[in-house]
Structure 1
Amino acid sequence: MFVGSVKNLEEIKVNAPGAVNAFKKTLIGPQEGWEGWVMRLFSLKDGGKSPRHSHPWPHINYILRGQGVLFVDGKETLLGEGSVAYVPAGSLHQFSSTSNEELDFICIVPEEGDK
């Protein structure tokens, strides 16, 4: 069993090409006993965005707060608090904040996606 607080977790700046004001906290993964999967919290601050990229694993996402856009394979979809999204493996995708408020979202990926 694992119980923790997001307030106590280290926030890491995403240093990938194309990332702007993007930060990550690893919430639960193999270290906490969830073998094979990782749940992360991403915060896109001040017009932030994730890199536009693709990879061979899917994303499962839940938007906690803020407003944004999800780009997947040439299509943009508006996101807001309570939105859910599934990004299939191999899809070109990017999350972008579209407001002054942070866009915070949960992202679950297979363990290989969090290396």
Structure 2
Amino acid sequence: MFVSHRDEIAKRKLEGKGIKEVTKQVLVGPDQGWKDHVLRMFTLGKGGFAPLHSHPWEHIIYAVEGKGTLFMDGKEYPLTPGSTAYINANLQHQVLNAGDQNFVFLCIVPEFGDI
């Protein structure tokens, strides 16, 4: 059993090629008892973006705050609070902040995909 609040969970700033103004929090995963998947929260600051990439696992996105854009399979999709997306394995994709405030979204991946 596990109960917490996002404000109490450690944030890790991500850095690297193709990444700008991104922090990651693992809300629920193996350390909290969920052995098969990981629920992460990403915050993209103003002008922030994750890298354009693909990987051999599917995942789910749920927008929480702000405005974002999901670039997926050569198309752009606007994301606002309540937007959800399923991204197939091996599909090239990228998430960008499209507003003046933080863009916050949840992302669920299989445990082996939390890298």
Q: Is TM more than 0.5 here? A: yes
Q: CA deviation at 1:16?
A: 3.1
Once residues 15 and 114 of structure 1 are traced to their aligned partners in structure 2, the CA distance between those partners, rounded to angstroms, is: 16
The one-letter code of the counterpart of 1:18 is G
Q: Which consecutive aligned stretches of 4+ in structure 1 deviate over 2 angstroms post-superposition?
A: none
Once residues 36 and 28 of structure 1 are traced to their aligned partners in structure 2, the CA distance between those partners, rounded to angstroms, is: 11
Question: Aligned ranges for residues 4-83 of structure 1 at < 5 Å?
Answer: 4-83=4-83
TM-score, normalised by the number of residues in structure 1: 0.97
Moved more, 48-57 or 14-23: 14-23
Where do 5+ consecutive residues of structure 2 fail to align?
Answer: none
Q: CA deviation at 1:31?
A: 0.7
Q: CA deviation at 1:51?
A: 0.5
Q: CA deviation at 1:59?
A: 1.3
Aligned sequence identity (%): 43
Provide the aligned length of Structure 1 versus Structure 2.
115
Deviations 1:50-77 (A, max 9, x none): 1100000011111001111100121111
Q: CA deviation at 1:7?
A: 0.8
TM-score, normalised by the number of residues in structure 2: 0.97
1:87 aligns with 2:87: yes
